[in-house]
Amino acid sequence: MSPVTAKHLKEHSSDILGRVQYGKERIVVTKNGKQVAAVVSVEDARLLEQLEDLLDVHDAVAALDEAERDGTISLAELRARLGR
């Protein structure tokens, strides 16, 4: 990923957006020497969302497996355990 400063992004946003859109570049934005954001194509953002969805499904399946293996408790029992 190519780094640019926030100031450079502000001054050359059209150029940077073109690099991302047409050049398929991924740009890291730095501020005070620290990476603070990334400019990526819509396709990359959609892929990231799909990956997040897959991870959510994986976590849900793991939770269901755990509940099936270890059992569950009622909301009333959970409240009682938490003293509420």
**Digitized pLDDT (tens) for each residue of the chain, 84 residues in all:** 899 999 999 999 999 999 999 999 999 999 999 999 999 999 999 999 999 999 999 999 999 999 999 999 999 999 999 998
Question: Is the distance from CB of 33 to CB of 59 less than 8 angstroms?
Answer: no
Distances in Å between the Cα of 58 and the Cα atoms of 17, 30, 54, 63, 71 are 34, 33, 6, 9, 19
Distances in Å between the Cα of 22 and the Cα atoms of 19, 38, 63 are 6, 16, 41
Q: What is the helix (H) or strand (E) element at residue 17, kind and residue range? A: helix 13-23
pTM above 0.85, yes or no: no
Query: CA–CA separation, 34 vs 36, rounded Å?
Result: 6
Which tokens hold the place of 84?
């509420």
What's the pLDDT score for residue 24? 92
